[in-house]
Amino acid sequence: MTERITVLVVDDQQLVRAGLVAILQRRADLHVVGEAADGEEAVQAVRRLQPEVVIMDVRMPGIGGIEAVRRIRSAGNGTHVLMLTTFDDDELVLDAMAAGADGFVLKDLRPAELADAVRTVRAGGTPLSPRVARAVVKHALSGAAARVRGADAITDLSARERDVLILMASGAANAESAAELVISETTVKSHVASILRKLSVRDRVQAVIAAYDAGLVRPARD
Q: Residue 180 above 60 pLDDT?
A: yes
Which domains are delineated in the chain? 5-122 (3.40.50.2300), 145-213 (1.10.10.10)
> How many other CB atoms are found less than 10 A from the CB of residue 33?
16
124 φ, ψ (degrees, to nearest 5): 100, 10
**Tell me, what's the pLDDT at 188?**
93
The percent of residues in the chain predicted with pLDDT above 90, rounded, is: 46
The answer to pTM > 0.75 is no
**Tell me, what's the pLDDT at 146?**
44
Q: Residue 131 above 80 pLDDT?
A: no
**Tell me, what's the pLDDT at 107?**
85
d(CA 125, CA 122): 7
**Tell me, what's the pLDDT at 106?**
85
pLDDT in tens, 152-171: 678 889 999 999 999 988 77
**Tell me, what's the pLDDT at 59?**
87
Residue 204: CB partners within 8 Å, gap ≥ 6? Answer: 102, 124, 125, 126, 168, 192, 196
pLDDT in tens, 35-47: 999 999 999 999 9
State the pLDDT confidence band at 4, using cuts at 50, 70 and 90.
very high
Question: Residue range 191-202: average pLDDT?
Answer: 89
d(CA 49, CA 36): 12
Q: Residue 31 above 60 pLDDT?
A: yes
**Tell me, what's the pLDDT at 94?**
74
d(CA 81, CA 98): 13
**Tell me, what's the pLDDT at 176?**
86
**Tell me, what's the pLDDT at 134?**
64
Mean pLDDT of the chain: 84
Question: Residue range 185-189: average pLDDT?
Answer: 91
Between residues 146 and 116, which one has the greater pLDDT? 116
